[in-house]
Amino acid sequence: MKKSLILAASFAVAVFTTSCDNTAGNDAVVTNNETAATQQPAAQPVSNPNVATEGEVAATPSANAPVMSFEQTEYDFGTVKQGEVVNHSFEFTNTGSTPLIIENASATCGCTVPDWTREPVAPGEKGQIAVQFNTAGKMGQQNPTVTVRANTQPDIVKVSMKGDVASSSIPTAGANGPVRRN
């Protein structure tokens, strides 16, 4: 028993000492990897116009860029009952000198649906972003936000609604389980 234990220990020490030399026998592999790395073309960086690179100064707004001026960017709908649908239209004016085009409007959740003026808004003209907020399944303070992307500088503008959704009068499951309605 002692002989097999000593033999196993000496074998483990021999394996440990020979495995610590990482460069032994790998010289050809290292040089092959180095030459393979030098032969491959370098990856080209992706040009993103919304991100300033090092040494690049942030772009100054163009003097003739369209400008989206809102009468209000936040609408307080007060307190509503759960399940009601809140509608509000955010009106804006193009105070720039070129036509304003809204590329997209997206909401923070599926309960909020934006609809916007699809045609270009000429300088001095008005457009709107209609927002519909469904309170079904919502309770407490709510703050749905719509992100609008347009050809303005800055190109992203946010409008939001806020208010309180009161629970409905329909009973729900309590501590004793679901409530049966006849």
| Top-confidence residue, 19 or 113 | 113
The share of the chain scoring above pLDDT 70, in percent, equals 62
Reference 117, options 68, 177, 81; nearest CA is 68
Given a cut of 50, whether residue 53 has pLDDT beyond it is no
Q: Is the pLDDT of residue 101 over 50?
A: yes
Please confirm whether the linkage preceding 154 is cis (ω < 30° from 0): yes
Share the mean pLDDT of the chain: 78
Per-residue model confidence (pLDDT) at position 55: 46
Q: Would you say residue 44 has pLDDT above 70? A: no
The C-alpha atoms of residue 57 and residue 159 are separated, in whole angstroms, by 28
Q: Which residue has the tokens 């457009």?
A: 127
- Across 91-119, average pLDDT: 93
pLDDT reading at 73 higher than 80: yes
Collapse the DSSP code of 167 into the 3-class scheme (helix H, G, I; strand E, B; otherwise coil) and give the result. coil
- Of 161, 150, 135, nearest to 66 (Cα)? 150
- Domain ranges across the chain: 68-166
For 68-166, CATH number out of 3.40.190.290, 3.60.70.12, 2.60.40.10, 1.10.357.10 equals: 2.60.40.10
Question: Can you tell me the distance from the alpha carbon of 165 to that of 161, in angstroms, rounded to the nearest whole number?
Answer: 12
Mean pLDDT of 121-136: 94
